[in-house]
Amino acid sequence: MRMEELDALASELFPEVVRIRRKLHENPEPGFEEWETSRMVQQILKAHGYIIKTGKEAVGSFTGVLASLYCGPGPVIAMRFDMDALPVSECEKESHIPVKEGFCSRREGWMHACGHDGHTAIGIGTGILLSRMRGKLSGTIQLLFQPAEEGCRGAKAMADSGILDNTDYFLAAHIYSREILKGEEADFLPAVEGSLATTKLNAVFHGRTAHGSMPQEGDNVNLSLASALLNLQAIPRNSRGATFINVGTINGGTGRNVIADQGKLELEVRGETSELNQYMEEYALRILKACAMMHNTRVEIETTGSAPSIHSDLQLAERIRKLFGTPESPVIPSRKTGISFPASEDVAHLMKRVQEHGGQAVFMLLATETRAALHQPDFDFNEEILKKGMLVFSETTTALLSKTRPD
Ligand SMILES: [Zn+2]
Ligand SMILES: [Zn+2]
């Protein structure tokens, strides 16, 4: 009965949630600058009875939002939705649906190419839906809207702010290509177990400039940059599992006949487990420092983002799977058959914090037809998944906070 009621409510809300998603898609905002997105989330949820907290003091970031709805004594359930866009220029072909239907990005060079417009719309829709179910629930709903997921920058500070420390259940999800389920009929997966832990680093080298014909008078950072690039990419593999490194940008010097005194590398390391990532990070830091020392330059290293590996609680995943009846297995097969989620997600910081305080957490995949891979200029998804997303979050919440729940 509850399921049918929610299904009817989600169908009724669906056109509005599509409108919200399209509005967000038109206005993709960079990480930590999601001002208008954050304002929209706050306005709508406040109008539906939620108590809003925002800002660095309250939730650990200026644009982050925590929207809470108290529905009586009982468990606390928290849900995470990310809001940021990517520095990608959106495809302009007529066959791209946002172009055809008039809602493509209006911000030059930026695009919602990772589906976070969909995630935020699902979060708002779920909030509205659950506010209508309030009388039938007992417990507290906390909707968390996170900035700067890309580059794994936004979650750590929100976790450290302590807003999740009394959470009993934590849910998060990502829109994903259906192909990942490899023939499964299901359009969602209750848990990801394992993901790539990662650390993002900037290394700024400082040297001493001189005339190109008097190199002995200078300390050339380009030598440090080049040595670092080759040695970083040559870090030995690790027999315990997959490791990755990428030096994504290299910039140094000002002119052909000038000894370079400023340079920068932007790089990332990843590992199949948090331990493997740590192996890569420590090795990379040694190389950066050694390459500065060998050419008498100085290096400043900054960590710009990080994420541990994701671990979902299988007990909670199994409860969610039973609600929906599919698929057969609640998790993507993990290490034995390869990396289960071949990417990084800083939701892992939030999950870890909840788990360290005795709560259970899952990271789910909402599987649908996508056009192009994530982060591509022609990425788009079937908007039907917005309804499925609302149902996954709201049905799980109503089951866990139901006044008639068995436990
Ligand atoms: Zn992404
Ligand atoms: Zn994403």
Residues 6+ apart with CB under 8 A from 362: 170, 171, 172, 190, 191, 192, 312, 313, 316, 317, 320
**Residue 223: C-alpha distances to residues 117, 227, 290, 302, 406 (Å):** 43, 6, 12, 20, 67
In the reported structure, the alpha carbon of residue 112 is separated from the centroid of ligand 2 by a whole-number distance in angstroms of 9
Would you say the CATH fold of 197-306 matches that of 2-195+310-401? no
In the reported structure, the alpha carbon of residue 326 is separated from the centroid of ligand 1 by a whole-number distance in angstroms of 26
pLDDT digits (tens, 9 = 90+) for 92-141: 999 999 999 999 999 999 999 999 999 999 999 999 999 999 999 999 99
Q: Is the peptide bond before 327 cis (omega within 30 degrees of 0)?
A: yes
In the reported structure, the alpha carbon of residue 174 is separated from the centroid of ligand 2 by a whole-number distance in angstroms of 7
In the reported structure, the alpha carbon of residue 264 is separated from the centroid of ligand 2 by a whole-number distance in angstroms of 26
In the reported structure, the alpha carbon of residue 347 is separated from the centroid of ligand 1 by a whole-number distance in angstroms of 12
User: What percent of the chain is modeled with pLDDT above 90?
Assistant: 83
Residues 6+ apart with CB under 8 A from 282: none
Task: Quote the pLDDT of residue 336.
Answer: 38
In the reported structure, the alpha carbon of residue 182 is separated from the centroid of ligand 2 by a whole-number distance in angstroms of 21
Q: Which ligand is nearest to the CA of 175?
A: 2
In the reported structure, the alpha carbon of residue 160 is separated from the centroid of ligand 1 by a whole-number distance in angstroms of 22
* Range with lowest mean pLDDT among 18-22, 47-51, 317-321: 317-321
C-alpha torsion sign, points 387, 391, 393, 397: positive
Q: What pTM, to 2 d.p., does this model score? A: 0.92
**Residue 130: C-alpha distances to residues 29, 225, 401 (Å):** 27, 53, 11
Give the residue from 187, 32, 40, 63 showing the smallest Cα distance to 125: 40
Domain locations in the chain as residue ranges? 2-195+310-401, 197-306
In the reported structure, the alpha carbon of residue 385 is separated from the centroid of ligand 1 by a whole-number distance in angstroms of 17
In the reported structure, the alpha carbon of residue 16 is separated from the centroid of ligand 1 by a whole-number distance in angstroms of 25
DSSP 107-144: STT-B--SSHHHHHHHHHHHHHHHHHTGGGB-SEEEEE
In the reported structure, the alpha carbon of residue 195 is separated from the centroid of ligand 1 by a whole-number distance in angstroms of 14
In the reported structure, the alpha carbon of residue 19 is separated from the centroid of ligand 2 by a whole-number distance in angstroms of 20
Amino acid at 75: P
Amino acid at 365: L
Report the distance separating Cα 58 and Cα 60, nearest Å. Answer: 6
In the reported structure, the alpha carbon of residue 115 is separated from the centroid of ligand 2 by a whole-number distance in angstroms of 6
In the reported structure, the alpha carbon of residue 177 is separated from the centroid of ligand 2 by a whole-number distance in angstroms of 12
Task: Quote the pLDDT of residue 327.
Answer: 57
In the reported structure, the alpha carbon of residue 374 is separated from the centroid of ligand 1 by a whole-number distance in angstroms of 7
| CATH architecture, domain defined by 197-306 | 2-Layer Sandwich (3.30)
In the reported structure, the alpha carbon of residue 149 is separated from the centroid of ligand 2 by a whole-number distance in angstroms of 7
Task: Quote the pLDDT of residue 337.
Answer: 35
In the reported structure, the alpha carbon of residue 114 is separated from the centroid of ligand 2 by a whole-number distance in angstroms of 5
In the reported structure, the alpha carbon of residue 344 is separated from the centroid of ligand 1 by a whole-number distance in angstroms of 9
CA 344 to chain CA centroid, Å, is: 8
Task: Quote the pLDDT of residue 369.
Answer: 87
In this model, does residue 21 exceed pLDDT 60?
A: yes
Q: Which ligand is nearest to the CA of 83?
A: 2
Q: Which ligand is nearest to the CA of 374?
A: 1
> Highest mean pLDDT: which of 202-211, 360-369, 395-404?
202-211
In the reported structure, the alpha carbon of residue 325 is separated from the centroid of ligand 2 by a whole-number distance in angstroms of 26
Task: Quote the pLDDT of residue 190.
Answer: 85
Query: Averaged over 218-226, what is the pLDDT?
Result: 98
Q: How many CB atoms lie within 10 A of CB 268?
A: 24
In the reported structure, the alpha carbon of residue 159 is separated from the centroid of ligand 2 by a whole-number distance in angstroms of 18
In this model, does residue 334 exceed pLDDT 60?
A: no
In the reported structure, the alpha carbon of residue 306 is separated from the centroid of ligand 1 by a whole-number distance in angstroms of 14
DSSP 46-84: HHTT-EEEEEHHHHSEEEEEEEEEE-SSS-EEEEEEE--
In the reported structure, the alpha carbon of residue 162 is separated from the centroid of ligand 1 by a whole-number distance in angstroms of 25
Superfamily of domain 2-195+310-401: Zn peptidases (3.40.630.10)
